[in-house]
Amino acid sequence: MNGAEAPRPTTGAGRGRAAPARAVDAPSPVDAGPTGPSASPGPVAVDAEAVDAVIDWFAEAGRDLPWRHEDVSAWAILVSEVMLQQTPVVRVLPRWREWMRRWPAPADLADAPTAEVLRCWDRLGYPRRALRLQECARAIVREHGGRVPRGQEALRALPGIGEYTAAAVTAFAHHGRAVVVDTNIRRVLARSVLGRALPDRSYSAAERALATRSLPAARERSVAWNQSVMELGALVCTARSPRCAQCPLAGNGCAWFAAGRPAPEPDTRRRQAFEGTDRQMRGLIMALLRREGAASQDQLMALDREDPDRVRRSLRTLVADGLAVQDGAGLSLP
């Protein structure tokens, strides 16, 4: 995260330095997974001049993140993408470094004690992702000789790997042409092309089609675009405080900026407070188990003496998810 350097080829993931901005390799078909692109090409897309502007911006402003370095393995990139789901980079960095120090290859994680895996995951959120990542490592060892497979269909067959992660690994680890769409990219496309402050609440076929149409035809340039537009959404075209004065698209036809940055439609959905929820209790229990390794029934019930049923419900779901083991004495990590 020390600023930028000249663009160069990279085997890193989508949140760091860019690939060459002006690659002249022949176009290759999009590796869009088992179902292919969801819609035929249409008239609305990011134009070539805007693509160039974003890639050039990233060559100067992209963060230097370790999963972007030339010597980083496809496995390290896959791990980073799983960790970064709904989790800020600043929280992921120390966990990713520790994870790669302990388990630099799928075989290392496949053989690791599950309790240690959950401890190392720490507070990245949704600890089931840590279990799925270990299952993924075992599948890679068992079915692919310990090497992360190529192609989105093969990647999506791995435990815990969905559409986004398969596309990201294809693009950033294997330098394939793939439609990579995360929350940041959705927001940049919604603003720059559609003139909307925010994308739809749920990822739609129309958004997938827009991203497909906007993807450059040349393979290396498509990788550079995916990296660059993702970073633009993370650093500049943010949800709450966009810095349009620093955005390369402001002067290159951003529809939302040209329209005067209209406000988003009101979100009338009711949101449940986190305090007092079963999700919060699950987090408290997992924190106790990571710290102590095990907890007695008295320790567990002390977490909420006013609502013991909440504690019991949370215990049952943690055991059902494979995150904890219960016996007569209490609860422990697997």
Quickly list H helices, 84-172: 89-102, 106-110, 114-121, 128-144, 152-156, 163-172
Quickly list H helices, the chain: 48-61, 74-83, 89-102, 106-110, 114-121, 128-144, 152-156, 163-172, 183-192, 205-214, 219-235, 255-258, 278-292, 297-301, 308-320
Q: Scan for tokens 């450059």, then name that residue.
A: 216
- Residue 202: count other Cβ atoms within 10 Å of its Cβ: 6
| Rounded-to-integer distance, Cα 20 and Cα 222, Å | 10
Strands 294-296 and 325-327: unpaired
Residue 146 falls in which region: left (phi positive, over 0), alpha (psi -120 to 50) or beta: left
As a dihedral over the C-alpha atoms of residue 269, residue 274, residue 275, residue 281, rounded to 10 degrees, the angle is 140
Catalytic residue (one of 5, 49, 81, 98): 81
| Rounded-to-integer distance, Cα 71 and Cα 10, Å | 8
* 327 bridge partner residues: 330
* 325 bridge partner residues: 332
Annotated catalytic residue 81: yes
Q: At what angle do helices 89-102 and 74-83 cross, to 10 degrees?
A: 140
Residues that are catalytic: 81
